[in-house]
Chains A and B, each alone.
Chain A
Amino acid sequence: MALKGRLEDFGITQLLNLINLARKTGTLYLEGAQKSSYLCFREGKLIYATLEGVDDSLPVILQRANVFTAEQVRMIQTNMPGKTDREIAQVLITSGRLQQQVVVKSVRDYVLDLVYQIFSWGEGQFRFEPSKLPLQGKIATSIALENVIMEGSRRVKEWERLQDELPDLDVPLKFADRPTTPLRDVNLSVEEWRVISFVNPSNTIRQIAQFNSMSELQIRKIVYSLLQAGLVEIIRPPRPVSMPTPATRPGVTGAATPASPPPTAAQMQRPVVKRGIVQKLISRIREL
């Protein structure tokens, strides 16, 4: 029986929690707003993941992990056409060019990185196909989901905080007139320099991200740190005149919100009826 639904109603965290607690084996197919992905699980553990548009061949994963250069990857692909990741790994390990632990760690890091990207998906469709594992020669890993859920949730929170701090990416940046930190004392990373080089009133933050092939999360993090350091400022558009919003009606409340936590099953109150009466009810309902 396939579980399916919308991510708006049932988020990634809840899905992973369900798969973990129910120790499910199968594949979770996700159709996000822009991309699709699938994650494979064995007995509640994450074993593989793919994301549309991301090359998941082993040589490329190893290049991303800085194990191989682009040139080495090209050579491997030329010399071993049509081979699966497992076969490539076997050749590289037996020839002594690679250690097994390096392969395992690189695949694990790739899978984790991909899953953390998916955590930010707030809309789309999902479908869980039990017992189906489309691995096709891929190298499976085994990652406990508890830590993934915690780290993913932390990143989502960070993402939400950054969105609160920097809600609009379609605004340009300018250098601060009077930087709070003396520029000579500032140590910038390569990525920060790349962003700084595009700071100009004619470039929006979104455009700077596009020029540098950065994700929204990456650009938000960098711009936020530059703003906090007082190096750049946002050029705010003129504020439109806002209409006063109607005040909440006094005395009108929403759902009855429990003032204290509800009792647990163990704290259930003894019913006010006698046992004989409940037994009468049971007999009568059986007869219906």
Chain B
Amino acid sequence: MQTLKIVVTGPFSSGKTELIQSVSEIDVVSTERKISREAERIKQQTTVAMDFGRITIDDELILYLFGTPGQRRFDFMWEILSEGMLGFIVLVDSTRPETFREARRILDTFRSYSPVPYIVAANKQDLSDAWPPEDLRIVLHVEPEVKVVPCVATDKESVKQVLLELLYSILELTDEE
């Protein structure tokens, strides 16, 4: 049995857990806790270790989706989670410019762990105050070769498209058999 891993990262409350839940065939193994810090009380719960979703490809192949904890004090987990990843998705809440600086920091950190393909997913594109993906590209200093794709993390079709775009990027770099 071969297992493969894609990591979903991004700032606190960017929608990582929802994204994984939208496509995982199992209930996401989520290690969520009630938020204790007042400043981070914009949602009821947050991921403290990781989210864990699964997509069975065939009898011999399983794809795991790992979501990183969003709060900065758990970022020691990031490097552990990134080991052996096939690629990663940086999820950004397009309606919250206050998180863009953090998103850039996360993006740079993950790029330093492993030079694997990645994409940026601009979440909450269904909301009227969402910043357009092309503006996020500029703000996050994303290189032209890297995709910045629109996304709604609660919508399965949208999340499928995000995963497919990452896999197409990975495919471009794989050897011909």
**A residues neighboring B (CB under 8 Å):** 1-6, 8-10, 14, 17-18, 21-22, 254-271, 273-282, 284-286, 288
Contact = CB atoms under 8 A, between A and B. Distances in A.
B101 A268 contact: no
Contact of A1 (B112, B114, B132, B170): B132
A270 B135 contact: no
B98 A5 contact: yes
Q: Which of A273, A274, A281, A282 has the most CB of B within 10 A?
A: A281
B20 to A, nearest CB: 13
B109 A256 contact: yes
Interface in B1-48: 2, 4, 23
Given A17-B138, A266-B145, 8 more contacts: A3-B97, A14-B139, A260-B112, A269-B173, A270-B175, A271-B173, A275-B175, A280-B61
A265 B142 CA distance: 9
Contact of A276 (B79, B113, B138, B177): B177
24 contacts: A2-B129, A21-B138, A22-B134, A256-B75, A257-B109, A262-B111, A263-B111, A265-B146, A266-B145, A268-B117, A269-B173, A270-B173, A270-B174, A270-B175, A271-B173, A273-B86, A274-B177, A275-B171, A275-B175, A278-B170, A284-B58, A285-B23, A285-B164, A288-B160
Contacts of A274: 174-175, 177
A1 B160 CA distance: 25
Contacts of B175: 270, 274-275
B138 A18 contact: yes
A284 B87 CA distance: 17
A262 B86 contact: no
Contacts of B75: 254-256
A258 B104 CA distance: 13
Contacts of B76: 256
B52 interface: no
The 3 closest A-B pairs by CB, nearest first: A258-B112, A5-B97, A262-B111
Nearest to A255: B75
Given A274-B177, A278-B167, A10 B97 contact: yes
Contacts of B111: 258, 262-263
Given A255-B75, A270-B174, A282-B167, A262 B112 contact: yes
